[in-house]
Amino acid sequence: MKRRRVKITGIGPVTPAGIGREAFWSGILEPVSRVRPYDRLDANDGPLVAAYLNRFNIADYVDKTRVPKGTARHALFAVAGAQLALNDAGLDASQLKDETTMIVVGSSLLDFGSIGDAIESVNKRGARGAQARVVYTASGTSTPNAINLALGKAARTMSMQTSCCSGLDAMGYAADLIASGEVDVALCGGTEAPLHRFPILELRAAGLTPETTDLAGSVARPFDLWRTTGVISEGACMFVLEPEDSPRPGYGFIAGYAFANDAYLDLCGGLVSAGRLAMAQAGVRPVQIDAINAWGPGHKLIDQAEAVSLVRLFGDQLKQVPVVSIKGAIGNALGATPAIQVAAAVLAQRHALLPPTVNWRYPDPACPLNLSAQPRAVPQSCTLVNAHGVGSVNACMVLTPC
């Protein structure tokens, strides 16, 4: 059976750089970091920084009565992103057929906000403090279900939890269903809201977010010589995927997707295999890649390991390929980030303009990549998107313009 080409027809970003396609694209082009001191937790927990949404009200996007009370913040982000993506594609929920519509959402974490509150409640009040709703809101499946409820649909749903690769894996899974003919429309992407006491204190203890608020806007420095660690953030991005014969115009094709694991003591080494497999599925060679939207969290070891893997994948050609990381601008929203990267990549192709790698100032010889702290005019016909996560997971996607 001939597989169908899969195109992105709607984009719904919910990010610190902007909500909605136009606001996001305008924001991600600015050489500005949205990372700031984060003071919404107990001051006794010590210094924290993050990139976060100043204002978010789900009623601005969907009928609030369709959203159950207590729905997790990351699920609300996904609901808003799904509605924004449908609007962008020019689709109304009433046009979606339940049996041929799929909702696939990836998240790295569970709803730690409600889980933490419930644990504290039980510790204080015993069994009387138990909160039954956590059984539902804390589950990964609650997020695509929240989208179903908000849209008034009975579409099939799936949730992905593959660490920070979750958003990209959700898109890859959904694209395969459309390519095979099993699904005609997919709402897919990633979402994350980790800015709760737990797990942000654990992430800080693990060295994955900084222990200071000094120069907060400069601390996220992907691939920079003086980088220290990444910065945790929140956000989401959802997409409408359809087959190539859909009457709606597309932003780009998902030409290839693959995942792979790191070998023992080979940090980010799985990106080499994932990149090769994704390019093979797309029918392109490394020399045909015009741009790379890198994982680049700003972590001392992870950035270097990704750069090493890109050298292994591209060889001497890598010096000529423009590379960008958007995490200096919006931090690392874990499982949502690769989906946000896809939005940045397809819009970059459409406008022939590559966003800046915010805060990159001093080249690191260990990261020999073609970077810029300013937007660059770059025609792009084939883009590679990278994702890496805790647990030795990696995923790559190849995007081409429609």
What pLDDT digit, counting tens, does each position of 233-265 carry? 999 999 999 999 999 999 999 999 999 999 999
101, two tokens: 């519509």
Please tell me the total count of domains within the chain.
2
Dihedral sign computed on CA atoms, order 188, 329, 30, 221: negative
74 shares its domain with 150: yes
What's 47's domain CATH number? Answer: 3.40.47.10
Are 90 and 157 within one domain? Answer: yes
Cα distance between residue 391 and residue 109, in whole Å: 13
Please give the structure tokens belonging to residue 106: 């990836």
What are 326-364's pLDDT values in tens digits?
999 999 999 999 999 999 999 999 999 999 999 999 999
Q: What angle do CA 155, 162, 121 make, to 5 degrees?
A: 85
- Mention every residue, 6+ apart, whose C-beta is less than 8 A from residue 197: 41, 42, 45, 116
Residue 365's pLDDT is what? 98
Of 203, 219, 243, which marks where a domain is finished?
Answer: 243
In tens, the pLDDT along 204-214 reads: 999 999 999 99
- 250 belongs to a structural domain: no
pLDDT at 119: 87
Closest-CA residue to 263 (of 367, 394, 162, 386): 394
Give the model's pLDDT for residue 2: 85
The pLDDT of residue 137: 84
Does residue 27 sit in the same domain as residue 165? yes
pLDDT in tens, 62-92: 999 999 999 999 999 999 999 999 999 999 9
pLDDT, mean over the chain = 96
* Residue 248 placed within a domain: no
Place 135 in a pLDDT band, splitting at 50, 70 and 90. Answer: confident
Would you say residue 134 has pLDDT above 80?
yes
DSSP letter string over 285-311?
Answer: -GGG--EEE----S-HHHHHHHHHHHH
> Which structural domain, as residue segments, surrounds residue 290?
255-401
pLDDT at 113 over 90: no
CA distance 118 to 72: 13
pLDDT mean over 271-278:
98
Shared-domain flag, residues 93 and 183? yes
Is 322:376 a contact under the CB 8 Å cutoff? Answer: yes
Q: Residue 394 has what pLDDT?
A: 98
Phi, psi of 366, deg, nearest 5: -80, -10
In this structure, the answer to whether residues 231 and 321 fall within a common structural domain is no
- pLDDT of 159 > 80? The answer is yes
Residues 228 and 311 both lie in one domain: no
Q: Is residue 132 domain-shared with residue 274, that is, in the same domain?
A: no
Cis peptide before 194 (omega within 30 of 0): no
**Token couple for 165:** 């690769």
Residue 1 has a pLDDT of: 65
Q: Are residues 325 and 389 in the same domain?
A: yes
Q: Phi, psi (5° rounding) for residue 271? A: -65, -30
Nearest to 78 by CA among 137, 147, 129, 22: 147
pLDDT digits (tens, 9 = 90+) for 290-308: 999 999 999 999 999 999 9
Cβ-in-10-Å burial (0-12, 13-18, 19+) of 24 comes to buried
pLDDT digits (tens, 9 = 90+) for 223-234: 999 999 999 999
